[in-house]
Amino acid sequence: MVKSRLIYILLTLSLSSTLISFTSCVNEESIEQDTVQTGAEMLIENHLDELDGKRVGLVMNPTARIGETHMLDTLMTLGVNVEALYAPEHGFRGEAGAGEIIEDGVDQQTGLPVYSLYGASRKPTAEMLEAVDLLLFDMQDVGARFYTYIATLGLVMEAASESGIPVWVLDRPNPLGGNYVSGWMLDEEFESFVGPYPIPAIHGLTMGEMARMIAGEQWMNFDSDPELRVIQMKGWTRDMIWPDTGLEWVAPSPNLATFEQAFLYPGTVYFEGTTLSEGRGTDQPFLVLGGPETSLSEEKIHELNQLTDQLEVRPLSFTPRSIPGVAPTPKHLDTESYGVQITLHGYEFDPVRVGLKLFQEILNASPGAETNDFLYNLAGSREIDRIISGEVNPLEVNFGLESFLEERREYLIYE
């Protein structure tokens, strides 16, 4: 391990002066070209000297980038003393599919130890933190309660507080915007790794704001107040969704390769709690929906196309295939299935309510399709049963979010 790290350092040192000059240019150009500068960029621009003399640990995934370069590689090339890496779901460099267990290992490019936070332990142990003085947390979230990165954030903060280690969150945009809040509040009985906090399905917080709320509301078992610092973005406002940021989309997980998929994901994720396909094993997960027995009439397809002029629904037959690292064993593997292909023409609609309407109609048009308990973990509430039964119109459901909106107010960073 020492030998590989030395080789890596020697190789990168030869490029360091060029990269430092290049980084300066990137920062200057990003102000002109990009509406938003991420917390990672602001760390490099304004706070790099504060890492001098510190042993740094990184809790990151492939979205921790400046331009095309992973933050690990940037920090090491700039001389930061990185000592340990911590891998959430999907892995530190994105080598694992959804739900795949991550094993401890070694980063092949740097020789640094990689500790799994999505395996036998989802919380860093004291032993994992022995070699570091500071943790940098940098991941692009989707803005949904059931995306596991916010659960990892809380566990990292809890472990760090027990070991007396500061956590700096390098903030990034909420792709769905900071004003969009939707979905049911989490009922306590459904608390899980995909539902770690009493928040709605779509919370409208950045990772930095989420960290502040986790600490302020004491949602974790903190031995002492966590030493938290948010490295804020520059140029992001709450009314921005992803296309407004000027930033390139980097897939936060293998099955959200485009922002279009991520935008509808908060409403079509509920197919994961059924025997129906949510599109894994196709090139359009969360936009391709159905199953082997799904049968939607032309009239029903026409009705779904009236939901909004920014969403197009067309009938589709599809066959899920095994895609290593993305969807190795999708539902209905190699079985012809029927359903719909969703195409987005804009983003001015509520993806949760529209997604729930799609869920309701496709489930009811699929004889033999079944739900399972994971559906309640995703919804956070048994109220979804009233959607399935037709008792409640998904487009008119009242999620009762007034208290949460007031509660979150003091933790907001951006206007």
pTM of the model: 0.91
| CA dist list (Å): 45 to 20, 160, 170 | 11, 25, 12
| CA dist list (Å): 340 to 290, 296, 297, 302 | 7, 9, 11, 12
Who contacts 396 (Cβ-Cβ below 8 Å, separation ≥6)?
Answer: none
Beta strand ranges found along 153-234 (DSSP E): 167-170, 182-185, 200-202, 228-231
Tens digit of each residue's pLDDT, the chain (415 residues): 444 444 444 344 333 433 333 333 334 443 444 589 999 999 999 999 999 999 999 999 999 999 999 999 999 999 999 999 999 987 898 765 555 677 889 998 899 999 999 988 899 999 999 999 999 999 999 999 999 999 999 999 999 999 999 999 999 999 999 999 999 999 999 999 999 999 999 999 999 999 999 999 999 999 889 999 999 999 999 999 999 999 999 999 999 999 999 999 999 999 999 999 999 999 999 999 999 999 999 999 999 999 999 999 999 999 999 998 899 999 999 999 999 999 999 999 999 999 999 999 999 999 999 999 999 999 999 999 999 999 999 999 999 999 999 999 999 999 9
Q: Could you give the residue ranges of the DSSP H alpha helices within 225-324?
A: 242-245, 259-268, 298-304
User: What residue ranges define each of the domains in the chain, with the CATH number in brackets?
Assistant: 2-252 (3.40.50.12170), 259-382 (3.90.1150.140)
